[in-house]
A and B are shown apart, each in its own frame.
Chain A
Amino acid sequence: MDFNDTPQEADFRAEVRRWLEANATERRSREDKFGAGLNEAEYLAAARAWQARKAAAGYAAIAAPKAMGGLGGTPAMQVVYGQEEAKFLVPDRVFEISLGTAIPTVAMWGTPEQKEKYLAPAFRGDHIWCALLSEPSAGSDLGNLRTRATRDGDEWVISGQKVWTSGAHFAQFGILLARSDWDSPKSKGLTMFIVDMKTPGIDVRPIHQASDEYHFNEVFLNDVRIPDSQRLGPEGQGWKVMLSTLMQERFALGNNFSGDLYAQLIGLAQASQWNGAPAVENATVRAGIADAYIRQFGVELIVRRGMSAISKGENPGPEMAAVKLVGARAFQTGGALAIELGGAEGLIAAQDLGAEWRLPQLLWISAPGARIAGGTDEIQKNTIAEQVLGLPAEARTDRDMPFRELVH
């Protein structure tokens, strides 16, 4: 048992480190950000320039085969790169769905022509992709989606509405799941498509989130015509294609829960006064710091177990299923404790109170979203109960009925 690299991993880490030092700025504090002060257009341009440099060095698709334009490396090398890159200022979120969700799906299901056309530009950042999956009536129950795909000669005509589409307002392409057969049961009549976001009939409207941010969009699709050559995977197999997509997303999310919330709590508790003494001396606060560490570092240790499996060429174990459930909760309780440290003054927003309060406040207001996105707490628990513990699946009255009969 150790936390060391294998010799190959150590060599690759050193190589990556040298490249990052020559091409990026090292992060100095947790408040340091890539592209600070840029507007969205400038930020995107800077992000694309960064991605192009990364792709030219071969790091945009480390684990993808060389034939697809990747580096032909191992998943462990991908993990090593990610660990080193996290120490530098690089774009946040811009390529997450593109390279974490959409492009792996194209790589897995695309025709040779589609892969030739789409992979390299996405690796370079010329194209950014979104994933048009969730709908107003299809969140956790994604199989309930109602966007209609109707065949018309060599084309498909798509109509419906997508929601919670991350990055749709700046993406050039999207993968899109729609219902092509209304007489089959809900998950059987779906087909996946590749859609050019400039196609007439697409209307993207940003969602004003509870956090006062705009990361997601509603996407309205009105008689959007897609050639059949843009179909991704077989007709009627969209559910299977989508499952492989969500597997990617779940793994990508699992990497996001490290950090140092407990260390921030300690700093804030040292600076806050409770009953005339530093809050860090208060027993309740100290127990809260301990609990924040147990959840947060516990999740990080579970991820390290997963990385160890990857390093040995194995798949991570079932314990990974606990990561998002525990991690999102840790954000919510830890963020709340941080804010509580300041009492009434803790209610002052970070722009007026001080930069050290920004991340805890952001965690607190983002946590409800983290507990919903990528599978709610309840869906995570069902997954653990059914897939890890072998308990019966939820009763489903709608699974075998023609979808047409389910729509009221």
Chain B
Amino acid sequence: MNFDFSEDQRRLQEEVRRVLTDVSTSAEVRTVLDGAAAYSAKTWRNLADLGALGIAIPENLGGTGLGHLELCLVAEEAGRTLAAVPLLSSIYLAAEVIKLAGSEAQKSDWLPRIANGDVIATAVIDPRTQTLAKDQSLTFANGALTGMIDALPDGMVANIAVLLVDDRLVLVDLAAPGVTRTPRASLDPSRPLAKLTFAGVAAEELAMGNATSIARRVTLGAAVLLAFEQVGGAERTLYAARDYVLERRAFGRVIGSFQSVKHKLADMFAAIEVARAHAWFGAWAMATDATELPRAAAAARVAATDAYTLAAEEGLHLHGGIGYTWEMDCHMHLRRARWLGQIIGTHHLWRETLAAALIGEAA
């Protein structure tokens, strides 16, 4: 049994961690948080130069030609450093959809530019079953996209959008006439959102294969990748809180010596280890295209959302009053945990996905 990453994969992870720790600092993330930038171009450029953006894109399409296991480790480090970059929309979603559903021309047109970071994509390819809208307003007919979609990640900076419209996968150039973009204030401003309206915008279909099953598979993969981001972020908050309670004194002793504090941190540790175990199983299922992928991805999504939420909430709490200030990073994790846990559907929806997969397997 070898339920672990390889030495080479670990070295790669350490390299990504080293670069992101240098580049995606709190100050850098805050340039996006405070609205001075829509994403961290510096972090994005460094990830591109490392080959991390194209790590799961074949070499002949401008990628590094490694695979999903390596991409998972990139995600973990991005989560750890709160990287304010469009990994979800461009890499986990758009690039994966284009790889599976794009024609050779579409692949060679877009993937090299996504891999080198020149093109940023936004994407919504899950059916958005949790919504405020009474009906789905996007339509795609005769090569033209019409309607509105809200809460698009990185919608203001994206060059293209990949969307699931009426069981078809559509790629639209956002520079085309008829596109209107409106920024939407995000609960995690370091991960901005936008509303896009399309007035008969020329768009192309990504028509290879079955669109709904490709969209489903890529969404499951994104759940695994986000789980790695969540585990990375959760672990960062756990150890930040641990360091703080070892310094902060009250009643004549460091507060980390109080059992209520120790047990809270132990609970965070246990939740993170359960989440990590499921994330790893999800990584294995994604990398091997295993039949277990639906339950593995859903379990990773739920466990990692629960773990990051717990770690971010309790991590802030353990800092006391200072934790509830803008200057401390605690609220950035609280915001990121909320954003990551909800952007491709909440834990409620994914618990149901998991139950359906388990019950389906039992039948």
Tally of contact residues, B, Cβ under 8 A: 50
Q: State A326–B268 Cα separation when bound (angstroms).
A: 12
Is A291 a contact partner of B351 (Cβ separation < 8 A)?
yes
Q: State A294–B355 Cα separation when bound (angstroms).
A: 10
B interface list, Cβ under 8 A from A = 1-6, 69, 238, 242, 245-246, 253-254, 256-257, 259, 261-263, 265-267, 269-270, 273-278, 280-281, 283-284, 287-288, 295, 298-299, 302-303, 348, 351-352, 354-356, 358-359, 362
Tally of contact residues, A, Cβ under 8 A: 51
**Could you tell me which residues of chain A, from 283 to 335, have a CB within 8 Å of some CB in chain B?**
283, 286-287, 289-291, 293-295, 297-299, 301-302, 304-305, 307-309, 311-312, 319, 321-322, 325-326
Is B3 a contact partner of A305 (Cβ separation < 8 A)?
yes
Is A322 a contact partner of B274 (Cβ separation < 8 A)?
yes
Instruction: Provide the residues of chain B in CB contact with A389, threshold 8 Å.
Output: 238, 242, 262, 265-266, 269
Q: State A51–B4 Cα separation when bound (angstroms).
A: 34
Is A290 a contact partner of B355 (Cβ separation < 8 A)?
yes
Is A384 a contact partner of B269 (Cβ separation < 8 A)?
yes
Query: In angstroms, how far is the closest chain B Cβ from the Cβ of A199?
Result: 41
Q: State A325–B266 Cα separation when bound (angstroms).
A: 10
With beta carbons under 8 angstroms apart, the residue of B245, B253, B261, B359 that contacts A289 is B359
Query: In angstroms, how far is the closest chain B Cβ from the Cβ of A377?
Result: 9
Instruction: Provide the residues of chain B in CB contact with A391, threshold 8 Å.
Output: 242, 245-246, 256-257, 261-262, 265
13 more CB-based (< 8 A) A-B contacts, given A391-B242, A391-B245: A2-B288, A4-B2, A266-B358, A290-B298, A295-B274, A301-B281, A305-B4, A308-B1, A312-B4, A319-B277, A322-B273, A326-B274, A392-B254
In the assembled complex, A183 has its CB within 8 A of some CB on chain B: no
Instruction: Provide the residues of chain A in CB contact with B295, threshold 8 Å.
Output: 293
Is B273 a contact partner of A319 (Cβ separation < 8 A)?
yes
In the assembled complex, A395 has its CB within 8 A of some CB on chain B: yes
In the assembled complex, A11 has its CB within 8 A of some CB on chain B: no
Q: State A270–B170 Cα separation when bound (angstroms).
A: 40
| Given A297-B299, A305-B3, A391-B245: A287 and B269 interface contact (C-beta under 8 Å) | no
Query: In angstroms, how far is the closest chain B Cβ from the Cβ of A393?
Result: 8
Instruction: Provide the residues of chain B in CB contact with A291, threshold 8 Å.
Output: 351
Q: State A389–B270 Cα separation when bound (angstroms).
A: 11
Is B277 a contact partner of A302 (Cβ separation < 8 A)?
yes
In the assembled complex, A382 has its CB within 8 A of some CB on chain B: yes
Is A286 a contact partner of B284 (Cβ separation < 8 A)?
no
Q: State A301–B296 Cα separation when bound (angstroms).
A: 11
Is A4 a contact partner of B1 (Cβ separation < 8 A)?
yes
Instruction: Provide the residues of chain A in CB contact with B6, threshold 8 Å.
Output: 1
Is A325 a contact partner of B352 (Cβ separation < 8 A)?
no
8 pairs of residues in contact across A and B, judged by CB atoms under 8 Å: A263-B358, A287-B351, A294-B302, A298-B299, A305-B4, A309-B4, A382-B259, A391-B257
Query: In angstroms, how far is the closest chain B Cβ from the Cβ of A147?
Result: 29
Q: State A299–B276 Cα separation when bound (angstroms).
A: 11
Residue of B nearest to A260 (CB): B362
In the assembled complex, A349 has its CB within 8 A of some CB on chain B: no
Query: In angstroms, how far is the closest chain A Cβ from the Cβ of B306?
Result: 8
Residue of A nearest to B287 (CB): A1
Query: In angstroms, how far is the closest chain B Cβ from the Cβ of A323?
Result: 9
Is A286 a contact partner of B359 (Cβ separation < 8 A)?
yes
Q: Which 5 A-B pairs have the closest CB atoms?
A: A385-B262, A286-B355, A301-B277, A298-B274, A381-B266
Instruction: Provide the residues of chain B in CB contact with A312, threshold 8 Å.
Output: 2, 4
